[in-house]
Amino acid sequence: MAEPTDAVRSRWNELREQVARHNRLYHELDAPEVPDAEYDLLVRELRALESEHPELADVDSPAQAVGGAASATFAPVTHAVPMTSLDNAMDADELRAWADRVARGLDGATARFVAELKFDGLAMSLRYEDGRMVQAATRGDGRVGEDVTANVRTIADVPERLRGDAPEVLEVRGEVYMSTAVFESLNAEYEAAGERPLVNPRNAAAGSLRQKDPAMTAKRRLSFWSYQLGEVVGGPEFAAHADTLDFMRELGFPVNPEVRSFDTIEEVAAYCAEREEHRHDLEYEIDGVVIKIDDLAQREALGFTSRAPRWAIAYKFPPEERTTLLRDIQVSVGRTGRTTPFAVLEPVFVGGSTVSMATLHNEDQVAVKDVRPGDTVIVRKAGDVIPEVVGPVLSMRPRGAKPWVFPTTCPCSIGSTLVRPEGEADTRCVEPACPFQRDQRIIYWASRGAMDIEGLGERTVVQLTEAELVRDVADIYDLTVDQVEALEGFARISAEKLVGSIQASKDRPLPKLLTALGIRHLGPAASEVLAAEFGTLRRVFEASDDDRAAVDGVGPVISAALSAWYDQAPNREFIDRLDAAGLNFGSEEEAAARAAAKAAIEQTLEGKTIVVTGTVPGYSRGEAEEAITSRGGKSPGSVSKKTTALVVGEGAGAGKLTKAEANGTPVVPADRFGELLETGEIPA
Ligand code: IVH
């Protein structure tokens, strides 16, 4: 392939800059400056250049980001018939209990069950008028979804026009999914191009539907299964669910062939067990079986609870388990010096994604599980998201495998001492100068929930500290474009971008700055109320212990932690350096404006405590917590008996989930977060 000429390079630079700028205007500021068509031309030209000269394309290319960035700009769609969710049955007994409730609801009349596969994708409502597709909307919170019509039109399975006699209005509900074959082939492609792989088919399907450019969705080769009717005007009368499935099939919708009817719940339970055993025999992922009452008159009689139909239930498969080799146990160091042992695993595909690491929490957990390097271990996804080492397969333990011993020195370059204080579960690196801790503090500072500095992730932080351009957090504000440009992997534009986003972070509101300081016990919720009460950073620190402790949501522990932190001279100097760098330390007016904005939001979560772990799609951690606190709820960083619910997303920590399960705290999957905010009720 021809080397790019100077002219090509300069056009490429120009395009990259323009596309990146428009991306930001469109996605983040919601203020596009050019019509979509013009923007699309720029992107297309850039993509064409990059595919002609692959050496120009890299993961940071804005042409890739066009697809990567989730847009928040899809129009809302109010569903004519709400898209409710389903109650779950975790085992055969819960299925039987549901069947008993159904029988009681029908005064003992017998019911016929239809069992369908529970596809692991994204619920979608397709609307047809006079046989033509007019709209496709996501489920959203069940009442209001998002208009993703342009993207759904790229799905080959979704008919544009219906065959035969189509009703005036027809809504078909079903699941958009990515087949495992497509998932694997896309990932092979991404890997070859050095791009970040997709996590799992479900996430990939969700992300693909949120593309701004339908051409990107088309490349993801999504599929669709229809399973339910929504609004129908001017159509035939149906007596049974099975008839509605036939009807959809006749009109040209893809209806999964694995639909079975049963007369007894025992037959249903046996079928569920059989499906579970063969769940991977399919070309797509399923996470359970959906059982519906066939007779539509009986459905009507049973009706709905506040969140779900009484006439259907989802039998959820338990988390999956696999065995793999435990290669090693290593220790990571957090920003507070806390160390966490983790399992280094022979990569294994489990619960829909490849797992190569899993936390082992602390020394005692390793001992309790008695996992040893060299063991074959059982790995599973807790709550279907967090990889967890269940335990060793003792019959396969290699001869001479020794119990693992917690290291006494930190894995960092200065090899500081690790200490486990008496009565505590955690082992800590007690040297504040530990480079690992320092790097983690900077990473935390730049993270989304704190100062949200785009582009300052782990890799870049390590590069900056290794090059000794940055020795502590405050140093980042002195970085120059020239310094960054000299680092490997950076060019002029990317260096400018990073320095720009670092400088932009100076204006973050006070609660973010307080959170970013990473003071022990001080999370976003307490930062929020402290900022509201005291207005400026100086006043937060200068207030008396008692005054701070008296603030609702703060208390003596946090207050004392703030004092202890500020008592240390290096920390006060650090604050002065931030001040000199021009960071926003807050003001009365800003605090008042935040209070006014908060008062305007419906307080659906009043009195509730919602803990979030992992990523909630569409929200940074800080935004998720803000969404909770702004609705009157509390969102502390850990699960306790007081927790109303735990929201669990991709990449969540197993500790919180285990604790929630032990306390019997309801667990809400991240994709139901919107519903929780809206209604204040815990989705089933
Ligand atoms: S019926 C009112 N059937 O599971 C009934 N849902 O956990 C509406 N799902 O939101 C749903 N396969 O996204 C139904 N064969 C199937 C399904 C199915 C997957 C999803 C759907 C729903 C979720 C509830």
pLDDT band at 28 (very low <50, low <70, confident <90, very high): very low
pLDDT at 64: 54
Q: Which of 108-117, 276-285, 529-538 has the lowest mean pLDDT?
A: 276-285
pLDDT at 385: 65
Q: Measured between alpha carbons, how far is 170 from 127 in angstroms, rounded to an integer?
A: 6
Q: Is the pLDDT score of 73 beyond 90? A: no
Asked if residues 476 and 466 have their Cβ atoms less than 8 Å apart, the reply is no
Beta strands 88-89 and 312-316, pairing class = parallel
The tens digit of pLDDT for each residue in 358-395 reads: 999 999 989 988 999 999 998 987 645 678 898 888 88
Q: Is the pLDDT score of 68 beyond 70? A: no
Q: Can you read off the two tokens belonging to residue 274?
A: 């059989």
pLDDT at 119: 97
Q: Is the pLDDT score of 137 beyond 70? A: yes
Q: In angstroms, what is the span from residue 123 Cα to ligand 1's centroid?
A: 7
Cβ burial of 260 (10 Å; 0-12, 13-18, 19+) is middle
Question: Number of C-alpha atoms within 13 angstroms, CB side, residue 253?
Answer: 30
Q: Is 228 left (phi over 0), alpha (psi -120 to 50) or beta?
A: beta
Q: Can you tell me which atom of ligand 1 is nearest the CA of 228?
A: 1
Q: In angstroms, what is the span from residue 684 Cα to ligand 1's centroid?
A: 13
pLDDT at 69: 33
CA 174 to chain CA centroid, Å, is: 22
Q: Measured between alpha carbons, how far is 455 from 343 in angstroms, rounded to an integer?
A: 28
pLDDT at 71: 40
Beta-carbon contacts of residue 512 (< 8 Å; ≥ 6 apart): 449, 450, 451, 452, 527, 622
Residue of 175, 261, 310 best suited for mutating to test ligand 1, as the one with most atoms within 8 Å of CB: 175
Asked if residues 607 and 571 have their Cβ atoms less than 8 Å apart, the reply is no
- Most confident range, picked from 477-486, 594-603, 654-663: 477-486
**435 to each of 168, 428, 445, how far by Cα in Å?**
67, 14, 15
Q: In angstroms, what is the span from residue 227 Cα to ligand 1's centroid?
A: 8
Q: In angstroms, what is the span from residue 290 Cα to ligand 1's centroid?
A: 7
List the Cα angle 463/468/474 in 5-degree steps: 95
Ligand 1-lining residues (CB < 6 angstroms): 84-86, 116, 118-119, 123, 139, 175, 227-228, 290, 309, 312, 314
pLDDT band at 247 (very low <50, low <70, confident <90, very high): very high
pLDDT band at 664 (very low <50, low <70, confident <90, very high): confident
Q: Measured between alpha carbons, how far is 458 from 222 in angstroms, rounded to an integer?
A: 32
Which residue is closest in CA terms to ligand 1's atom 4?
118
Query: Catalytic annotation on 118?
Result: yes
Local structure of residue 309 (DSSP, 8 states) = B
Q: Can you read off the two tokens belonging to residue 398?
A: 């290699």
Q: Is the pLDDT score of 601 beyond 70? A: yes
Q: Is the pLDDT score of 30 beyond 50? A: no
Give the pLDDT mean for 268-293: 94
pLDDT at 11: 86
Which H or E run contains 151? Answer: helix 149-152
Specify the long-range contacts of residues 429-438, CB closer than 8 Å, at least 24 apart: 429/333, 429/337, 429/339, 430/337, 431/337, 432/337, 434/333, 434/337, 434/410, 435/465, 436/332, 436/333, 436/410, 436/411, 436/412, 437/333, 437/334, 437/335, 437/336, 437/337, 437/412, 438/465, 438/471, 438/472
The secondary structure of 662-675 as a DSSP string is HHT--EEEGGGHHH
- Most confident range, picked from 75-79, 321-325, 466-470, 611-615: 466-470
The tens digit of pLDDT for each residue in 609-662 reads: 999 988 888 787 778 888 998 898 998 888 888 899 999 988 776 678 878 888
Q: Is the pLDDT score of 67 beyond 50? A: no
Q: Is the pLDDT score of 494 beyond 80? A: yes
| Mean predicted lDDT score pLDDT of the chain | 89
pLDDT band at 335 (very low <50, low <70, confident <90, very high): very high
The pLDDT > 90 percentage for the chain reads 64
Q: Measured between alpha carbons, how far is 279 from 257 in angstroms, rounded to an integer?
A: 15
pLDDT at 193: 77
Cβ burial of 233 (10 Å; 0-12, 13-18, 19+) is exposed
pLDDT at 420: 95
Q: State in Å, rounded, how far the first CA of the chain is from the last one.
A: 56
Which residue is closest in CA terms to ligand 1's atom 23?
85
pLDDT at 445: 97
Give the pLDDT mean for 14-18: 84
pLDDT at 66: 38
Residue of 85, 286, 384 best suited for mutating to test ligand 1, as the one with most atoms within 8 Å of CB: 85
Nearest one of 28, 107, 48, 137 to 454, comparing CA atoms? 28
Nearest one of 340, 343, 323 to 392, comparing CA atoms? 323
pLDDT at 34: 63
Residue of 81, 86, 293 best suited for mutating to test ligand 1, as the one with most atoms within 8 Å of CB: 86
- Most confident range, picked from 18-22, 205-209, 512-516: 512-516
Q: Is the pLDDT score of 1 beyond 50? A: no
Q: In angstroms, what is the span from residue 350 Cα to ligand 1's centroid?
A: 23
Q: Is the pLDDT score of 302 beyond 70? A: yes
Q: Measured between alpha carbons, how far is 171 from 176 in angstroms, rounded to an integer?
A: 15
Which residue is closest in CA terms to ligand 1's atom 13?
123
pLDDT at 653: 67
The tens digit of pLDDT for each residue in 177-225 reads: 999 999 889 988 887 776 666 767 888 898 899 888 899 999 999 999 9
pLDDT at 661: 82
Give the pLDDT mean for 445-456: 92
The tens digit of pLDDT for each residue in 396-431 reads: 999 999 999 999 999 998 999 999 999 989 999 999
pLDDT at 113: 98
**601 to each of 101, 478, 598, 644, how far by Cα in Å?**
38, 39, 6, 20
